[in-house]
Amino acid sequence: MLYDKIMALYPSLTQQDFLTVITLQNDSDGKGDYIKAWNHPTLAKPTDEELA
């Protein structure tokens, strides 16, 4: 799952981060979870390769 992959890359992320600077979303359209917004002040948005 996307959340687990991101946490594996950045274990320091907290639940609060996912409610403030990072938004994961699933539109129930069969396309799965995706990063809707990534505004973390220090950690870079993971690349597609890192999330593959």
Residue ranges that bind another protein, judged by CB under 8 A: 1-4, 15, 18-19, 23-29, 33, 36
18's enclosing H/E stretch is helix 17-20
Minimum distance from residue 47 beta carbon to another protein (Å): 19
Minimum distance from residue 23 beta carbon to another protein (Å): 6
Question: In 3D, which of 24, 29, 28 has the Cα closest to residue 2?
Answer: 24
Nearer to another protein, 26 or 39 (CB): 26
If you search the block for the tokens 């699933």, which residue do you land on? 26
Minimum distance from residue 19 beta carbon to another protein (Å): 7
CA angle, residues 16, 51, 28, in degrees to nearest 5: 70
